Amino acid sequence: MPAILTRPILNNAIRTFSKVQIRFFSTTSGLLSKKIVIIGGVAGGASAAARLRRLDETATITMFERGPFVSFANCGLPYYVGDVIKDDKDLVLATPALFKNRFKIDVRTQNEVLKIDPKAKTVEVKDAANNTTYSESYDSLVLAPGAFPIRPPLPGIDLPGIFILRTIPDSMLVRSWMEKHTIKRAVVVGGGFIGLETAENLVHRGVEVTIVEMGTQVLPPMDPGALVFY
Protein backbone atom coordinates (compact mmCIF):
# COMPACT_ATOMS: atom_id res chain seq x y z
CA MET A 1 0.00 0.00 0.00
CA PRO A 2 1.75 3.17 -1.12
CA ALA A 3 1.55 6.39 0.84
CA ILE A 4 1.84 9.84 -0.68
CA LEU A 5 2.77 12.89 1.41
CA THR A 6 1.38 16.16 0.13
CA ARG A 7 1.14 18.66 3.04
CA PRO A 8 3.84 21.38 2.70
CA ILE A 9 5.85 23.46 5.15
CA LEU A 10 6.62 26.89 3.72
CA ASN A 11 10.16 28.23 3.93
CA ASN A 12 10.95 31.92 4.27
CA ALA A 13 10.30 33.21 0.78
CA ILE A 14 9.23 36.32 -1.08
CA ARG A 15 5.71 35.60 -2.25
CA THR A 16 4.16 38.92 -3.23
CA PHE A 17 5.09 41.31 -5.97
CA SER A 18 4.64 44.23 -3.56
CA LYS A 19 7.46 42.95 -1.38
CA VAL A 20 9.68 42.55 -4.42
CA GLN A 21 8.98 46.14 -5.46
CA ILE A 22 9.62 47.51 -1.96
CA ARG A 23 12.92 45.72 -1.67
CA PHE A 24 14.29 46.38 -5.14
CA PHE A 25 12.73 49.65 -6.29
CA SER A 26 14.90 52.67 -5.72
CA THR A 27 13.15 55.64 -4.13
CA THR A 28 15.51 58.04 -5.86
CA SER A 29 15.97 56.92 -9.44
CA GLY A 30 13.16 54.36 -9.80
CA LEU A 31 15.63 51.86 -11.20
CA LEU A 32 16.35 48.37 -9.99
CA SER A 33 19.74 47.01 -9.01
CA LYS A 34 22.07 46.21 -11.88
CA LYS A 35 22.53 42.52 -11.05
CA ILE A 36 19.77 40.49 -9.40
CA VAL A 37 20.08 36.88 -8.30
CA ILE A 38 16.95 34.81 -7.60
CA ILE A 39 17.19 31.61 -5.57
CA GLY A 40 14.39 29.25 -6.60
CA GLY A 41 12.15 29.00 -9.62
CA VAL A 42 8.63 27.66 -10.22
CA ALA A 43 5.75 29.86 -8.97
CA GLY A 44 7.59 32.26 -6.65
CA GLY A 45 10.97 32.73 -8.33
CA ALA A 46 9.80 32.60 -11.93
CA SER A 47 6.98 35.08 -11.30
CA ALA A 48 9.33 37.43 -9.46
CA ALA A 49 11.84 37.23 -12.32
CA ALA A 50 9.24 38.14 -14.93
CA ARG A 51 7.94 41.03 -12.79
CA LEU A 52 11.43 42.38 -12.18
CA ARG A 53 12.15 42.33 -15.89
CA ARG A 54 9.04 44.44 -16.50
CA LEU A 55 10.28 46.94 -13.92
CA ASP A 56 13.74 47.18 -15.47
CA GLU A 57 14.63 46.12 -19.02
CA THR A 58 18.39 46.48 -18.50
CA ALA A 59 19.08 44.68 -15.19
CA THR A 60 21.01 41.42 -15.29
CA ILE A 61 18.75 38.74 -13.79
CA THR A 62 19.97 35.24 -12.95
CA MET A 63 17.72 32.55 -11.46
CA PHE A 64 19.03 29.39 -9.80
CA GLU A 65 16.77 26.33 -9.55
CA ARG A 66 18.14 23.14 -8.01
CA GLY A 67 15.57 20.97 -9.77
CA PRO A 68 15.44 20.09 -13.49
CA PHE A 69 12.37 22.26 -14.22
CA VAL A 70 12.09 26.00 -13.70
CA SER A 71 8.33 26.35 -14.22
CA PHE A 72 5.66 23.67 -14.20
CA ALA A 73 1.98 23.12 -13.41
CA ASN A 74 1.93 21.95 -9.79
CA CYS A 75 -1.79 21.19 -9.85
CA GLY A 76 -1.28 18.98 -12.89
CA LEU A 77 0.97 16.53 -11.03
CA PRO A 78 -1.88 14.38 -9.64
CA TYR A 79 -3.41 14.17 -13.11
CA TYR A 80 -0.12 12.89 -14.50
CA VAL A 81 -0.12 10.25 -11.76
CA GLY A 82 -3.71 9.41 -12.73
CA ASP A 83 -2.77 9.10 -16.42
CA VAL A 84 -5.21 11.87 -17.33
CA ILE A 85 -2.17 13.85 -18.50
CA LYS A 86 -0.24 11.37 -20.62
CA ASP A 87 3.02 13.19 -21.29
CA ASP A 88 5.11 14.85 -18.56
CA LYS A 89 6.14 17.50 -21.11
CA ASP A 90 2.59 18.85 -20.90
CA LEU A 91 3.31 19.82 -17.28
CA VAL A 92 6.12 22.19 -18.26
CA LEU A 93 5.00 25.82 -18.50
CA ALA A 94 8.29 27.52 -19.38
CA THR A 95 11.85 26.46 -20.16
CA PRO A 96 15.19 28.21 -19.58
CA ALA A 97 15.29 28.92 -23.32
CA LEU A 98 11.93 30.71 -23.15
CA PHE A 99 13.10 32.89 -20.24
CA LYS A 100 16.28 33.69 -22.17
CA ASN A 101 14.60 34.54 -25.46
CA ARG A 102 11.54 36.37 -24.15
CA PHE A 103 12.80 38.04 -20.97
CA LYS A 104 16.62 37.96 -21.27
CA ILE A 105 16.76 36.10 -17.95
CA ASP A 106 19.55 33.59 -17.31
CA VAL A 107 17.95 30.47 -15.80
CA ARG A 108 20.25 27.75 -14.47
CA THR A 109 18.46 24.54 -13.57
CA GLN A 110 20.10 21.82 -11.46
CA ASN A 111 22.12 24.61 -9.84
CA GLU A 112 21.73 24.70 -6.06
CA VAL A 113 22.75 27.69 -3.94
CA LEU A 114 24.70 26.34 -0.98
CA LYS A 115 25.81 29.51 0.80
CA ILE A 116 25.07 33.23 0.87
CA ASP A 117 27.73 35.77 1.83
CA PRO A 118 25.76 39.01 2.44
CA LYS A 119 28.89 41.05 3.16
CA ALA A 120 30.63 40.11 -0.07
CA LYS A 121 27.27 39.90 -1.87
CA THR A 122 28.03 36.51 -3.39
CA VAL A 123 26.36 33.11 -3.46
CA GLU A 124 28.08 29.74 -3.68
CA VAL A 125 26.43 27.52 -6.28
CA LYS A 126 26.73 23.80 -6.99
CA ASP A 127 26.19 22.72 -10.60
CA ALA A 128 24.82 19.18 -10.27
CA ALA A 129 25.25 18.39 -13.97
CA ASN A 130 29.00 19.08 -13.93
CA ASN A 131 29.55 18.40 -10.21
CA THR A 132 31.32 21.73 -9.84
CA THR A 133 30.99 24.64 -7.40
CA TYR A 134 31.35 28.29 -8.30
CA SER A 135 30.64 31.77 -6.93
CA GLU A 136 28.18 34.33 -8.33
CA SER A 137 27.98 37.97 -7.28
CA TYR A 138 24.83 40.05 -6.93
CA ASP A 139 23.63 43.55 -6.16
CA SER A 140 20.23 42.37 -4.89
CA LEU A 141 18.98 38.95 -3.87
CA VAL A 142 15.53 37.34 -4.03
CA LEU A 143 14.85 34.30 -1.84
CA ALA A 144 12.12 32.11 -3.32
CA PRO A 145 13.08 28.56 -2.25
CA GLY A 146 9.45 27.42 -2.08
CA ALA A 147 8.26 24.65 0.23
CA PHE A 148 8.85 21.01 1.05
CA PRO A 149 6.43 18.28 2.20
CA ILE A 150 6.47 17.07 5.79
CA ARG A 151 8.07 13.67 6.24
CA PRO A 152 6.95 12.63 9.74
CA PRO A 153 9.77 11.06 11.80
CA LEU A 154 7.98 7.71 11.93
CA PRO A 155 9.43 4.19 11.78
CA GLY A 156 9.44 3.02 8.15
CA ILE A 157 9.10 6.49 6.62
CA ASP A 158 11.86 5.66 4.12
CA LEU A 159 10.50 2.26 3.07
CA PRO A 160 9.73 1.62 -0.61
CA GLY A 161 6.25 2.68 -1.63
CA ILE A 162 6.23 5.95 0.36
CA PHE A 163 6.42 9.04 -1.83
CA ILE A 164 6.15 12.80 -1.70
CA LEU A 165 4.31 14.70 -4.42
CA ARG A 166 5.73 18.16 -5.02
CA THR A 167 7.65 18.14 -8.31
CA ILE A 168 7.56 16.50 -11.74
CA PRO A 169 10.24 13.93 -10.75
CA ASP A 170 8.08 13.06 -7.70
CA SER A 171 5.11 12.34 -9.95
CA MET A 172 7.30 10.25 -12.24
CA LEU A 173 8.34 8.07 -9.30
CA VAL A 174 4.73 7.49 -8.22
CA ARG A 175 3.62 6.72 -11.75
CA SER A 176 6.55 4.36 -12.34
CA TRP A 177 5.76 2.51 -9.09
CA MET A 178 2.14 2.06 -10.13
CA GLU A 179 3.18 0.69 -13.51
CA LYS A 180 5.46 -1.89 -11.90
CA HIS A 181 3.16 -2.97 -9.04
CA THR A 182 -0.46 -3.93 -8.63
CA ILE A 183 -1.82 -1.21 -6.38
CA LYS A 184 -5.12 -1.93 -4.64
CA ARG A 185 -5.04 0.52 -1.72
CA ALA A 186 -3.24 3.80 -1.03
CA VAL A 187 -3.02 6.33 1.79
CA VAL A 188 -2.78 10.04 0.97
CA VAL A 189 -1.42 12.12 3.86
CA GLY A 190 -2.72 15.67 3.56
CA GLY A 191 -6.22 16.78 2.65
CA GLY A 192 -5.38 19.98 0.83
CA PHE A 193 -5.91 20.67 -2.85
CA ILE A 194 -3.07 18.47 -4.09
CA GLY A 195 -4.00 15.70 -1.64
CA LEU A 196 -7.63 15.59 -2.80
CA GLU A 197 -6.63 15.75 -6.46
CA THR A 198 -4.19 12.90 -5.86
CA ALA A 199 -6.93 10.85 -4.20
CA GLU A 200 -9.26 11.58 -7.11
CA ASN A 201 -6.73 10.38 -9.66
CA LEU A 202 -5.82 7.26 -7.71
CA VAL A 203 -9.51 6.36 -7.59
CA HIS A 204 -9.60 7.04 -11.34
CA ARG A 205 -6.98 4.31 -11.70
CA GLY A 206 -9.00 1.85 -9.63
CA VAL A 207 -7.23 2.30 -6.30
CA GLU A 208 -9.05 2.33 -2.95
CA VAL A 209 -7.89 5.51 -1.18
CA THR A 210 -7.80 6.67 2.44
CA ILE A 211 -7.07 10.35 3.14
CA VAL A 212 -5.38 11.26 6.44
CA GLU A 213 -5.71 14.92 7.47
CA MET A 214 -4.49 16.23 10.84
CA GLY A 215 -6.94 19.14 10.80
CA THR A 216 -10.66 19.11 11.55
CA GLN A 217 -11.58 19.18 7.86
CA VAL A 218 -10.18 18.66 4.38
CA LEU A 219 -9.31 21.78 2.37
CA PRO A 220 -8.22 23.69 5.51
CA PRO A 221 -8.12 27.12 3.79
CA MET A 222 -11.83 26.96 3.03
CA ASP A 223 -14.59 28.08 5.36
CA PRO A 224 -16.20 25.04 7.05
CA GLY A 225 -19.66 26.21 6.08
CA ALA A 226 -18.73 26.32 2.42
CA LEU A 227 -17.62 22.69 2.38
CA VAL A 228 -21.17 21.40 2.82
CA PHE A 229 -21.79 22.38 -0.79
CA TYR A 230 -19.06 20.06 -2.09
Q: Within its chain, how far is the Cα of 209 from the centroid?
A: 25
Which run of H or E residues covers position 196? helix 193-204
Q: Among the residues of 60-192, which ranges form H helices?
A: 77-81, 96-98, 168-180
Catalytic residues: 75
Spatial separation of the C-alpha atoms in residues 127 and 175, rounded to whole Å: 28
Tell me, what DSSP letter sits at residue 11? P
Nearest-10 Cα torsion for 70, 82, 219, 152: -70
Spatial separation of the C-alpha atoms in residues 123 and 111, rounded to whole Å: 11
3-class DSSP assignment, residue 39:
strand
